[in-house]
Structure 1
Amino acid sequence: MKFVSSRLLRYLLFGLASAYLAVLAGGVYQTERTSVDLAAFPPPGRMISVNGVNLHLYCLGSGSPTLVLEAGLGENVLSWYPVHAKLAQTMRVCAYDRPGLGWSDPIDAAILPEEVAENLHTLLNNADIAPPFVLIGHSRGGIYVRAFYCRFPEQTQAIVLVDSTHEQSPMHQYPYASWDYRKQALQIAIAEPLSRIGFVRLLGIADADRRPSPLPAAILAAKTAVQNRTDTAHAVVNEIAVMRQGLDPSTPPPSSLGNLPLLVLTAGNLVDPDLAAREAEKAGKNVEAEQALVRDQQAEQDDLARLSSNSLHIIVRNSGHFIMQDQADEFVGVVSEFVLGIPHINLAR
């Protein structure tokens, strides 16, 4: 018995030592590869200090107002690549990375939309970019740009919502979204510690080319490089923690935008009940449930369009969630026409 116990103890110690060495080696691998990636793909813009945290700001073009691009959950300035330079041919366009995303430094705690708005305001001020601003928010970014307007209405000349998230979206989609949000939060929470030891990088879990993309290979490579940072997983965990508040029935609806010029762009593929039925049948999902989600999505987008008495709602056909990538030319045309139609615009040409 003593011999067996001794052998089991040796096996246990050997296993623990092996696991420790594997974690150590993974940590070194992750650190070294991150350094190599960031050297190969430096930030395209400039780093601006905001309350001691360096945030990445990437501006092109000139003129007033300045278009400010707010990316969606886990995204960075490169998600706007197909439209950024094209919009900048007639106006100044600035994209930036929230803390921990893209090339921006991380922060430890989750931040509320109001704090995102404060950070953005300080970033623009510290970069000497004067108002007025036209705020363009994609997905989760739609909540952040509306928070900016609520905090700084006098500096906001217009808002463009690009398939924007609705504050009460999880509640509207209940019970479907309840499990989806919890599952997503669990997956990301597991991915965060695994990213520290290079496991996420090795498996390609955070790679930007896991779905067919219109982005060029070089942009996908840069996007993959920054998404494989450990900071990215931590930042997404923080944002999802705040997003899940929408599961609470007490979550307030979106705030009114008064008569602020508002353009709402909705992904046509996500509000098409016939397409939803076909995709559900292919995937073996419940057709009625998927069509119900489509109706919810349409109702939410309609609700967002009603936030202003001066709004335009366009459903972009043949487009998924990333409208600025799937239908880049239409996006640039519609947004440019909208901005040019705002009174008192002075664009450099």
Structure 2
Amino acid sequence: MTFVLLRRMRYLLFSLTIGSLAALTGTVYQAKRTSADLAAFPPPGQMIAVNGANLHLYCMGSGSPTLVLEAGLGENVLSWYPVHAKLAQTMRVCAYDRPGLGWSDPIAAAIQPEEVAENLQALLHNAGIAPPFVLVGHSRGGIYVRAFYQRFPEQTQGIVLVDSTHEQGPMHDYPYAAWDYRNQALQIAIAEPLSRLGIVRLLGIADADRRPSPLPAEILAAKTAIQNRTDTADAVVNEIAVMRQGLDPTTPPPRSLGNLPLLVLTAGNLVDLAIVEREAKRAGKDVETEKVLAKIKMAEQDDLAHLSGHSRHITVSHSGHFIMQDQADAFVAAVREFVLDMPLVN
């Protein structure tokens, strides 16, 4: 009995030693590769101190109002690459990275949309960029720019929502939404510790080129390198933790924007039922479920367009969720026209 126990203890000790060495090796590998990536791909903009963290701000062009680009969940300034410089030909355009994303420093806790708005306002102020601002929010970023307006209405001249998330999401109408959110949160939560060991990097889970992309190879390489930071996984975990609070059926609807100029851009491929059916069959998904989700999405986009008495809603044909990448020229034309048609602010 004693011999068997000793042998099991030796196996356990051996396994723990091997596991510890593997973890140490992975941690060192991740740290060295991250350091090399940051050296190979320095931030294209400038680092600005905000509440003890350095946030990355990337501005081009000149003029007023300033167009401020707010990226979606887990995204960074490079997601705007196809439109950033084009828009900057006629106006000042600033993209930035939320804490932990892109080149920005991480912060430990999950932050609410109101805190994202306050960080953004402090970032712009500290960078010497004065209002008024036209805020452009993609996906989850749509919630953040609406929070900015609610917190700083006097600084906001207009809002563009780019296939924006709705505060309530589909959970009130779609019975599997809670499961979808929890499944996504579980996957990200697993990815976060694995990223510390370099496993996410080795498996290419965070690679930016996992889908066909209009982004050039050098931008995809930089985006992949930055998304492989452990800080990115931490930041996404934090944002999803806040997003899951929206599963509460008492979540209030999005707040009115009064008569603020508002442009809503909706991804046509995601609400066209014929396209949705075709893609569902191709991917082996349940066709009727995907159609229900598409109808919910369109209803949400219409609801967002009705938040303001001065709004326009455009469904962008031949575009997926990343409208600014899939239909860059149409995106630039719509945003330029929107800004030019705004009443002048003294």
Say whether the fold is shared (TM-score over 0.5). Answer: yes
Q: Is the 8 A contact 1:168 1:247 kept in 2?
A: yes
Q: Residue 173 of structure 1: CA displacement?
A: 4.5
Counterpart of 2:261 in structure 1 is 261
* Letter of the 1:87 counterpart: L
1:293-332 equivalences under 5 Å are 293-332=293-332
Identity of aligned residues (%): 79
Counterpart of 2:196 in structure 1 is 196
Counterpart of 1:8 in structure 2 is 8
Deviations 1:262-283 (A, max 9, x none): 0000000010111111222233
* Letter of the 1:153 counterpart: P
In the aligned structure 2, how far is the partner of 1:168 from the partner of 1:44?
35
In the aligned structure 1, how far is the partner of 2:105 from the partner of 2:241?
19
Matched, 1:225 2:220: no
In the aligned structure 2, how far is the partner of 1:226 from the partner of 1:154?
34
Counterpart of 1:344 in structure 2 is 344
In the aligned structure 2, how far is the partner of 1:30 from the partner of 1:310?
49
1:1-349 equivalences under 5 Å are 1-344=1-344
In the aligned structure 1, how far is the partner of 2:242 from the partner of 2:41?
30
Secondary structure at 1:264 match in 2: strand
Q: Residue 8 of structure 1: CA displacement?
A: 2.2
Deviations 1:73-121 (A, max 9, x none): 0000000000000000000000000000000000010000000000000
Q: Is the 8 A contact 2:73 2:140 kept in 1?
A: yes
In the aligned structure 2, how far is the partner of 1:320 from the partner of 1:90?
26
Q: Is the 8 A contact 1:170 1:247 kept in 2?
A: no
Q: Is the 8 A contact 1:172 1:296 kept in 2?
A: no
TM-score, scaled relative to structure 2: 0.98
In the aligned structure 2, how far is the partner of 1:175 from the partner of 1:20?
43
Q: Is the 8 A contact 1:63 1:91 kept in 2?
A: yes
Deviations 1:218-262 (A, max 9, x none): 000100111000000000000001111221110000000011000
In the aligned structure 2, how far is the partner of 1:203 from the partner of 1:242?
27
Deviations 1:165-199 (A, max 9, x none): 00001423432221111000000001111111101
TM-score, scaled relative to structure 1: 0.97
Q: Is the 8 A contact 2:135 2:159 kept in 1?
A: yes
Q: Is the 8 A contact 1:135 1:158 kept in 2?
A: yes
In the aligned structure 2, how far is the partner of 1:18 from the partner of 1:320?
45
In the aligned structure 2, how far is the partner of 1:338 from the partner of 1:156?
14
Q: Residue 139 of structure 1: CA displacement?
A: 0.2
The CA RMSD over aligned residues, in Å, is 1.1
* Letter of the 1:284 counterpart: G
In the aligned structure 2, how far is the partner of 1:282 from the partner of 1:68?
37
* Letter of the 1:188 counterpart: I
In the aligned structure 2, how far is the partner of 1:33 from the partner of 1:187?
23
Q: Is the 8 A contact 1:170 1:178 kept in 2?
A: no
- 108-117 or 286-295, larger mean C-alpha shift: 286-295
In the aligned structure 2, how far is the partner of 1:152 from the partner of 1:321?
28
In the aligned structure 1, how far is the partner of 2:61 from the partner of 2:225?
26
In the aligned structure 2, how far is the partner of 1:148 from the partner of 1:299?
24
Q: Is the 8 A contact 2:280 2:286 kept in 1?
A: yes
Q: Residue 160 of structure 1: CA displacement?
A: 0.2
* Letter of the 1:338 counterpart: F
Deviations 1:129-157 (A, max 9, x none): 00000000000000000000001111100
Number of residue pairs the alignment of both structures matches: 346
* Letter of the 2:313 counterpart: H
Q: Is the 8 A contact 2:55 2:98 kept in 1?
A: yes
In the aligned structure 2, how far is the partner of 1:345 from the partner of 1:235?
36
In the aligned structure 2, how far is the partner of 1:128 from the partner of 1:173?
44
Q: Residue 345 of structure 1: CA displacement?
A: 6.8
* Letter of the 1:155 counterpart: Q
Deviations 1:196-219 (A, max 9, x none): 110101101001011111000100
In the aligned structure 2, how far is the partner of 1:249 from the partner of 1:305?
22
In the aligned structure 2, how far is the partner of 1:223 from the partner of 1:173?
35
Secondary structure at 1:179 match in 2: helix
